[in-house]
Structure 1
Amino acid sequence: MNALAPRLRGTLADPDVLAGRAAARGAPHVAALGGYVAGLRARHGAVPDVDPADGGTGARLLLLLETPGPGAAPLRFVSRDNPTGTAANIRRFTAEAGIARADTLIWNAVPWVIHAPGARNRAPRRGEVAAGLAELPGLLALLPDLAVAVLAGRVAAAAGPALARARPALPVVEMPHPSPTIVCTAPAIAARIRAALRTAADLLARPA
């Protein structure tokens, strides 16, 4: 369990909450992940931090999204507390499924910012996806307790083979991306997300 979580609650649009997350980046459950992120930055540029309010290296569920959105903020986290519609949907759907925050780690298939300053959001290119997935085994090596990976959207689904090679016994669940522009496309999208997260919750509930 992440003992820091109760002290880190709130939206990252609040400067005080953001400062609290920044101060917690060296906490034991995320320290090794911070080293991993530092390596990614040296190779690829801007990479948001893992959220210390989540499970860190003790996570049992990896929720893999696509890539960080555009933006030049010097301090960013991959977090359900970001002031975005996607983050709000993650909060809502994981809460409905009964998935504990301390059990989760949210990350991106392409973990660095691919957008030029001031550019609009775009999908990662094939080479960017391949480069991102090449970095995935390094993350998995830091998550010894994983019980399930949830791949959200088309780009994240491309991680399936890499996950199978690195962790052959790890269950993998696919679902649509929780972006509001996708969720609002049809009622069936939200239903598929809910079903996938219920499946993940059931896998987490199995005895170790």
Structure 2
Amino acid sequence: MTTAPPGDPAAAPVLADASTAALPGDATAAPLLNDPVELLRRHDALQRPAMQPLLRFAARIRRETGQPVPEADPADGGTAARLLLLLETPGPSIRGTGFVSRDNPTPTGRNLRRFLTEAGIPREDVLIWNAVPWVIHAPGARNRPPRPAEIRAGQNWLPPLLALLPRLAVAVLSGRVAGLSAEVLRDARPALPVLLMPHPSPTITCTSPAVPARIAAALAEAAALLHLPGRSAA
């Protein structure tokens, strides 16, 4: 899962460091998905009731497109989520885990874990998904940006995704490709607040100190819209 724009190198700097260990004091941290025992546990957790509609949804996309679609992470909120975090497209490394997850052992995953933890947003409030929900890269190929036709095809699946999320209170679109779906979400659910933020890939966050600040600000605004303790909407 956690997706990255082209050029997300495994050794790129990730904010303070590129370690993929659990963050100290991170109450929402879980083992990373390069742990075979944890990966098996996540697959078992897909049987949770809140995951069943999303399982059927991903299977439908696979069936109708013929494309590989990773599963939503059952360690997050599933259909009970109040925040939809929309990334861009699954990166090539996702073939190793099969999940759209902050716990994928990548620099982007590390950044996403950090930002969500610092925002104080509980995992059970979040669903992480992709604007283009299938893997667009051939096995072994380098990452690349989605083509316009792929973006349009992915957008067709966003309204049925929203229909599975009755508690949804805010959507956060991360990165340029995800941001192109803002109007699709607003048309599908006009009252839904839609926020934009940069992608958490190290290739983006390391370009300027303003980028992590913008990510943190967007997630803080989302937390306020969720009326989390200690947060208040402006």
TM-score, normalized by length of structure 1? 0.93
Residue type of the alignment partner of 2:80: G
1:66 corresponds, among 71, 88, 93, to 88
Contact 2:88-2:174 at 8 Å conserved across structures: yes
Cα distance in structure 2, aligned partners of 1:74 and 1:14? 11
- Provide the residue aligned with 2:174 in structure 1: 152
Kindly indicate whether structure 1 or structure 2 has the higher relative contact order, using CA contacts under 8 Å at least 6 residues apart.
2
Q: Deviations over 1:1-39 (max 9, x none)?
A: xxxxx9x93110000000000111121010111000000
Cα distance in structure 2, aligned partners of 1:129 and 1:167? 19
Post-superposition offset of 1:71: 4.1
Question: Structure 1 residues 10, 71: closer, same or farther in 2, change over 3 A?
Answer: closer
Post-superposition offset of 1:110: 0.1
2:216 corresponds, among 191, 194, 207, to 194
Contact 1:64-1:149 at 8 Å conserved across structures: yes
Cα distance in structure 1, aligned partners of 2:190 and 2:94? 37
Residue type of the alignment partner of 1:87: G
Question: Structure 1 residues 47, 187: closer, same or farther in 2, change over 3 A?
Answer: same
Are residues 1:82 and 2:104 paired?
yes
- Match of 2:55, SS state, is helix
Residue type of the alignment partner of 1:99: I
Contact 2:78-2:127 at 8 Å conserved across structures: yes
- Provide the residue aligned with 2:152 in structure 1: 130
Question: Structure 1 residues 167, 11: closer, same or farther in 2, change over 3 A?
Answer: same
Cα distance in structure 2, aligned partners of 1:76 and 1:20? 13
Are residues 1:9 and 2:30 paired?
yes
Contact 1:71-1:117 at 8 Å conserved across structures: no
Question: Structure 1 residues 165, 24: closer, same or farther in 2, change over 3 A?
Answer: same
- Provide the residue aligned with 1:94 in structure 2: 116
Cα distance in structure 1, aligned partners of 2:88 and 2:95? 19
2:131 corresponds, among 109, 133, 140, to 109
Tell me the matched-pair count.
Answer: 201
Residue type of the alignment partner of 1:143: L
Post-superposition offset of 1:74: 6.4
- Match of 1:118, SS state, is coil
Residue type of the alignment partner of 1:10: P
Cα distance in structure 1, aligned partners of 2:215 and 2:30? 25
Q: Identity over aligned residues, as a percent?
A: 60
1:118 corresponds, among 112, 117, 140, to 140
Specify every segment of 5 or more residues in structure 2 that has no aligned partner in the other structure, as ranges: 1-26
- Provide the residue aligned with 2:205 in structure 1: 183
1:27 corresponds, among 48, 60, 65, to 48
1:42 corresponds, among 56, 63, 75, to 63
